[in-house]
Every structure is written in structure tokens, then in C-alpha cells.
Amino acid sequence: MNGEAVVPEPAAAASSPAQASPSPPEWRFSQVFGERSAGEEVQDVDIISAIEFNKSGQHLATGDRGGRVVLFERTDAKDNACRKEAEKVDYSVSRHPEFRYKTEFQSHEPEFDYLKSLEIEEKINKIKWCQTANGALFLLSTNDKTIKFWKVQEKKVKKVSEMNLSPSNASANGRPAGSNASGSSAYLPNGGISKPVGFNSLRLPVVVTSQETSLAASCRRVFTHAHDYHINSISNNSDGETFISADDLRINLWNLEISNQSFNIIDVKPTNMEDLTEVITSAEFHPTHCNTLAYSSSKGSIRLVDLRQSALCDTHSQLFEQHEAPGSRSFFTEIIASISDIKFSKDGRHILSRDYMTLKLWDINMNSGPVATFQVHEYLRPKLCDLYENDSIFDKFECCQSGDGLRVATGSYSNIFRVFGCGTGSNEATTLEATRNPTRRQLQNPTRPARSLSTLTRVVRRGAESTGIEANGNSYDLSTKLLHLAWHPSENLIACAAANSLYMYYA
């Protein structure tokens, strides 16, 4: 899958997020959860539909089509204390990052909207971590219509240490020894009742808190009845108090403490629905500026919005779009231009966007065009007609960027994902497969140097429904797609989903 070239724009050298071009890292397999055995069928409810690291990178959450959220926690020695010690002795910990299963809970159930005669599936569309407090984890999860705010906390197990009656005081017939046959009580002169005759001491159950702990997930709030269309995005604000939710036509602003009302801040619904030309595809808050958010559209544009301008932010402060070359327009131009995901860089300077064919990196201070464009699977361009017929052209791939801003990643078909270097002068373009041997596709063509990527002839076999041949001679499979992946906030660690399996790779 190394047949696609990295195509930097002319402006890349002027506003690249990095000043130097580091050597490409060597990606290694770390671990896998839910690995399938050969020939095993995957249940649809088990397919992973969302992945998200928390801010510290110590926890990872996944959601699936069955409405479940599964949490993983980091277990290797790379905690803060170890980092400080390593810095003192100038020693880097060589152990690979390791996570373990923490807990899981049922976030959403299938529902039915009786007013619209509409089934609402339980599939988790997005997960976002919130700020931790008092040792508890908080996160938001959403399906097509309902957002839920969850608290996951360790609780000490309480046990009964003693029963109310000691076996030594019990008689053979089950009546306490020393009690009278009738079990009558003594009546006092003033009408009161004394203790039953024969009960010298009545001991109640004694409950003690043990040292054992169990994780409990509780739904703190439910945010619903605010979207007529399917929710495609949720994003936390840096103020720690609010978040947004977006569907095809509207973006709403919520307060985490208030579930019964939201503010509609963006509405692109026309008066006449026949005049509708584009829809909202993704939305995200700026990582540090609580008044700034960005949202993308099905026409390939990204709009930057300042919440301070007005209550209803239908007018954008900046517009980012790439104008097509004259004469290059075709039936598929607008379809493949639709942006499926956007992500702010950690410092908020750049926006990474993914459309069907490419990854684009934008500088928020320069709206004349992207500073870099990366071709993800250019070998599929001659197959757009077939991709349209089997609906693959509408697949929504996610994207992510490393914490240092030097690399970007996104998924493709055949369960592969691409990692590109976006530093000044970088030609890094790595293809990895979601298996225990992530580089096996590269090893099949060892004689082809990476620098000749742009000169490779692209060959596509026609007539196949879901399989074909890509530029390197490897086959590709449209039925296996890697849609969801996430990059650790501070390390070269990527988590990606291949059907029901969660793979992790580090460099």
C-alpha cells in the first residue's frame, strides 16, 4: 500500500507545524484486545465504533455497535514518578506501553421513537473524556439521538461480617435457646412492652467495609430531545463546563450540569429543504480557546466560529476550503470532497481534516489553502464508480495527529492505516496493517524505495466487487475498513479498531 505519494502544498514550508524533519519511527505491535481466530464470525454488535484516549493518556475508551463502553487503563511503568526518575539518570524506559481491561458498561439501549416511527440503534457514535474529579472518571457517550454523562468510580465492597444470631445460642428446632414456648413479651404497667422473655442479647447484622474494591459506572445525566437528525459529533470545551453536539443541520451548546436545556448556536437548515446544499459533518472545540470552534461540511469546507460574535453563530469568522482546478469536476467531485472528520492540533494552531481520498492540514492563520495534502489511497480513484455503487464511497474515516504535531494518521481499506510526517521537508509515508505484524505489506516489496512513491504505476483490477489490486501489487478488500483510530496525547502510540479487535502500536 505504499503506492500513494505525500503531496505537500507550496505553502508548507512557511507554516509547517515543525521546524525539522525527524527520521521515520519504527512502528511495532504492542497488544491486541478481542483478536479474532481464523474463520471466526464477527457479530455486528461487537464491532468497535468509537475510540478515545483521555487527556493524560492513562485511560482509553472504546464504544461498539451494541451500545457498550469498554475502558482500559495503562499498567506499564511510565507513570509520572518514573518519568522524573528517568530524566534524572538520563534513561528512557524501554518497555512498550501496556494497557489492561478495566471495566465495561452498557451505555445505550435500542429505542423506538413512536412519534416519528423511527428505530434508534444503540451504536456508540462518539466518546469524549471529561475532567476527572476525586479519583473518578467522567465521560460523555452518544448514539444517534441521546448523549449520556457517565461517572466511573472505584467503590469499596461492603460485607456482612456477623449474623444476628450465634449458632451456639440456637436450639435444634431453630428457636433461640432460652426463649419461652409462646414467644410472649412481658407487658409493663404503663402499656409498654419489654424485651421478649429469653432474649438476653439480640445481635443485628454487622456490615464492614473490606479492602476489596469494585468499579461502578453510574449515569449522572441524560441529554436528549435536542436533535432531529443523527448526532455525528460531540466535543468538550476547554472551560470544563460546556460541550457541543452536532447533527447534520444544527450544533447545540450544553452545560454539563443542566440536561433539560441547550442553546442552538449554529443552524444551517434552510427555510425550504429543497434549497439544502450542504450539511454539517463534524465539529470540535478549540483545545485552549473556549470561545472558538470549528465545523466541517459535506462540500469540503471548514468554518471557524467565534462564540463572542453573536448568540447565533451562523456567520463564520474564517472559512477554509480548497478550490478545485478548472475542468477537473466530475460526478464524484463533491462526494469525495465531503469531510468526514476534523481534529485540532494539540496547540490549536492547525486543523487536520479527512475527506474520502486525502488528509489535509490547515493553518488557522492562513485560509488560502491547506499547508499540506496527503494522498491516502489514490489507487482507488479509477474505481470511484464501483465504490459509489456499493456505497463504500460514503465511508467515514477518522483522522488523528500526534501530540508533538509531527505526524498525522488515518485509516483505509484492508484494515490498513497510513502515518504521514508533516514536518518541514518530511517525505515520511508509512503503511501499517492492523495485525500482529503491522509492516508485512511493506516487506512484500522490499526493493521499492520510499522515495519513489510518486513514480509508481497505479494498477487497478476491474470487475471486482470488494477486492482489487493496489499500486504495490497487494490486494485490497473494501469489506475490511479501518475507520476509527486515536493517537496517544503525548507518545507515539496509536490505537485502532479492526472490526471487533482493538490493536495498539508504538514507536
Is 119 strand, coil or helix? strand
End-to-end CA distance of the chain: 20
Q: In what order do the strands lie in the sheet with 429-433?
A: 399-401, 407-411, 416-421, 429-433
Is 224 strand, coil or helix? coil
Per domain, the residue ranges of the chain are 323-442+476-506
pLDDT tens by residue, 240-281: 999 999 999 999 999 999 999 999 999 999 999 999 999 999
- What's the Cα-to-Cα distance from 341 to each of 150, 280, 294, 403, rounded to whole Å? 24, 11, 11, 18
pLDDT value, residue 315? 87
∠ CA 123-495-21, rounded to 5°: 135
pLDDT value, residue 486? 98
pLDDT tens by residue, 116-156: 888 999 999 999 999 998 889 999 999 999 999 999 998 87
Mean pLDDT along residues 439-451? 45
Q: Which CATH code is given to the segment(s) 323-442+476-506?
A: 2.130.10.10
pLDDT tens by residue, 147-193: 999 999 988 777 776 665 555 554 444 454 444 444 455 555 555 55
Task: State how far the Cα of 78 lies from the Cα of 101, in Å rounded to an integer.
Answer: 17
Task: State how far the Cα of 2 lies from the Cα of 452, in Å rounded to an integer.
Answer: 10
Please name every residue paired with 61 in a beta bridge, in sequence order, or none if there are none.
Answer: 52, 71
pLDDT value, residue 423? 82
Tell me the pLDDT of the chain averaged across its residues. 82
- CB-based contact 320:269 (threshold 8 Å): no
- pTM for the model stands at 0.79
User: Pick from 321, 318, 288, 320: which is nearest to 306 by CA?
Assistant: 318
User: Pick from 386, 356, 400: which is nearest to 497 by CA?
Assistant: 400
pLDDT of 219 higher than 90: yes
